[in-house]
Amino acid sequence: MTHLSARRHRHAVRTATFLPLALASGLACARQSPALDRVSIWLGGYDAHVDTTIGASDKSGRYSGNFNLEKDLDFSHHKRVPRARLDFLIGDSQGFSLDYHSVNRSRSKSLTRDISYAGNDYHADAAVHGKLNFDFGSASYRWWIGHGDDVFGLGLGGAYYRVHAGISGEASVNGMPVGQASSRTSDGVWAPMLQLGWRHAFNERWRLYVDAAGVRKNGGRLSGHIVNAALGVEWFPWQNAGFGAEYGYSRVVLHQRKHTYSADLDMKLDGPSLFARFRF
């Protein structure tokens, strides 16, 4: 065998030896993190402590007013909110995340103090009916960094939120009784959303996670910002089914521009959530 042939032979032997090792190493690096699931379904509820203020003012500043649903209309401070999520991966480190929840509340009572809203004055002892419906849904594309027990995530997408609020009852305008009067606002809009996340797998049964998301929209008929944050734990006593528990906080601040006045909503929610968890 010539010197050139021997060198080629040694090169071929080294290639044949290290190529399988390199492929195996590459596959190990590209494996899916144990902190993530191919498909993840969350079904449960949010036991939220709620504090809500709504208000309205006209463009000239002649009238303005706001009231708190819990203090002035005796809305319950606690509301059980249904929650649903769906996460699924495309490959090992990218995928989509979908989330939805809705807060629907209404209450009728006699006022204990005078309140004003959208130019109508509702006096103490007046019988009024208040209502607030808030729907939130989001869809985002997420990138996960890391393949070990810890992964960090970045998500970009959009959120759709709709708010319907109003009050009706015995009222007066500029001091003149008008009998029954009502003021309502209803609108929905899409807005850009940014998500951050962290996942840690202790083992096949236990996980810990942190999520944060922000939505902001300037201008337009419905503007404002929404902030969500959550800390949670997952437990899987079975391979494909388990439970999730988290503590979450949300702040919703919205401004709606109407032809005759502008309406405002400031709502805070915080409390625990429980989920039935399914993974595949």
Using alpha carbons, select from 248, 204, 196, 231 the residue that is nearest to residue 35: 204
Q: So what's the pLDDT on residue 16?
A: 42
Computed over its alpha carbons, how large is the radius of gyration of the chain? 27
pLDDT digits 0-9 by tens, 129-177: 999 999 999 999 999 999 999 999 999 999 999 999 889 998 876 666 6
Q: Domain span at residue 9?
A: 1-30
Same domain for 90 and 158?
Answer: yes
Same domain for 16 and 44?
Answer: no
Same domain for 135 and 7?
Answer: no
Distance CA 57, CA 176 (A): 19
Is the Cβ–Cβ distance between 211 and 169 less than 8 Å? no
Same domain for 13 and 122?
Answer: no
pLDDT digits 0-9 by tens, 104-115: 999 999 998 888
The total of structural domains in the chain comes to 2
The number of residues making up the chain comes to: 280
Same domain for 78 and 54?
Answer: yes
Same domain for 256 and 126?
Answer: yes
Q: So what's the pLDDT on residue 120?
A: 83
Q: Write the CB contacts of 90 (distance below 8 Å, at least 6 apart in sequence).
A: 96
Q: Confidence class of residue 215 from pLDDT cuts 50, 70 and 90?
A: very high
E strands in 69-175: 78-90, 94-110, 115-117, 120-122, 127-145, 150-173
Same domain for 211 and 253?
Answer: yes
What sign does the CA torsion over 140, 206, 83, 267 have?
negative
Sequential DSSP letters for 45-79: EEEEEEEEEEEEEETTSS-EEEEEHHHHS---SEE
Same domain for 41 and 20?
Answer: no
Same domain for 18 and 128?
Answer: no
Same domain for 11 and 54?
Answer: no
The one-character DSSP state at 3 is H
Q: So what's the pLDDT on residue 7?
A: 52
Q: Look up the pTM and report it.
A: 0.83
Place of tokens 């890391």: 146
pLDDT digits 0-9 by tens, 249-263: 999 999 988 777 788
